[in-house]
Amino acid sequence: MMISAARKIAYEVLRRVEAEGTYASDLLHAELGAGVKPEDAGLATELVMGVLRWRRLLDFLLERQLKKPVAKLDLPVALALRIGIYQLRFLERIPARAAVNESVELVKSARKTSAATLVNAVLRRAANESRVPAEKLVPQATPAAERLSILHSHPTWLVERWLARLGERPTIALLEANNRAPRLSCALHDLTKREQVFAALRHAGLRLESGTILQSAFAVSGGSPTRTESFRAGAISIQDEASQTIPLLLDVQANDRVLDLCAAPGGKTPPLVRAAGSAGMVVAADRHAHRLRAMREQFKRLDLTQVRLVELDAASPLPFGAHFNRILVDAPCSGTGTLARHPEIRWRLQPEQLVEFHALQIALLKSALERLAPGGRLVYSTCSMEPEENEQVVAEALRGVSGFRRAVPSESAHTLKDKLVAGFETESLFDREGYFRTTPGPLETDGFFAAIITKS
């Protein structure tokens, strides 16, 4: 029996995600080139992201038949079983026979022929209970956090944290949002060309929706925007809408000296460059040379040639004699606000890493504060939902330091006033302390945090 192209691609991407620690979205982008049929690209994406999002529940269902942990199986066997049971449980249009048989062929093609009988037997038994709601299969005596973790496919430690801080209903809403496919959001770089660009994208077969927050944001479906002339010409970029909002909080003015301290992969730098203008100066820094090279290629597509790229370790004192009017510290973080877009993060992240990120983030913020000019503005941001990486970092970095203050809610909201879609309530983006926050679900964005800090 032949293995479909979609399942071959899905298997290989999942294998590399596990074996190499790469991101599934990057691998899919590389694998799903113009030579792949749209229907195969769609199924491959569904299988990869579905298996990664629902891995905890899939393993629970498999272990009912296996009687041992999936983690003890060889990786090719585990992946074939997960791909098979995901189809049985979530994809009603795929016949059970195809889901089972092609999973058997996957282990054979991976030279694990001895496991073919096991895969066949486990998936056939799983098929018999594929229509039984998962809620009925989890023992009633299972502790609440563990039960939610299984049914919504998240690590127990993360669910326990959110339950303690947010409560049950908000936690369930967050878990559900993390298991929905996120909108594919884009940024329009020149609002005056909106109709022209949108017409070209529709002509290319894409379906468009307006942004939920920003006038310059929109969502696409029905194809890949990277294959369009609008993308190649630099008229648009792919970027989550909350992520697009972060650099706008800096309120960069013409002629400003701007530092983007943790710039890679470079999505937040372009609006800073455009706002500073030809008389301004924008320095984009990162500690990895290969990421700076990738940024340079992106900036060529966007025709942004005046950016100064600098390789440095921003956790150490910065090698600049001058001060900057505007500084963006989009810090490396756990990424718990992006679990819908990058579901593999939930299985990689460990509690102790939050402590490591916290220490790094404080070092980055303190370094940046030293280079902020009087009257200047700094934005510290993460795509994390965790206090240790957000408000606790800001509080600790500012403790005992004079001359800095956080912007109050009215100041923060005013920065975005002219950039939002008509009727959007700016204040909804900020909490009572003036922190910018988005939560996966309500606005169909990733979860972002930002603090605006000014220097007197």
Active site residues: 383
**Tokens matching residue 112:** 């694990």
Instruction: Give the whole-angstrom CA distance, residue 454 versus residue 82.
Output: 50
DSSP state of 264: T
How far is the C-alpha of 42 from the C-alpha of 100, rounded, in Å? 20
DSSP character string of 44-111: HHHHHHHHHHTHHHHHHHHHHHHSS-GGGS-HHHHHHHHHHHHHHHH-TTS-HHHHHHHHHHHHHHTT
Give residue 383's Cα distance to chain centre. 8
- Angle between helix 351-370 and helix 391-398 axes, rounded to 10 deg: 40
Angle of helix 5-20 relative to helix 75-90, nearest 10 degrees, comes to 130
| Residue 214, strand partner residues | 420
Annotate 244-275 with b (16+ C-beta within 10 A) or e (fewer): bbbbbbbbbeeebbbbbbbbbebbbbbbbbbb
3 Cβ neighbours under 8 A, 6+ residues apart:
102, 105, 106, 109
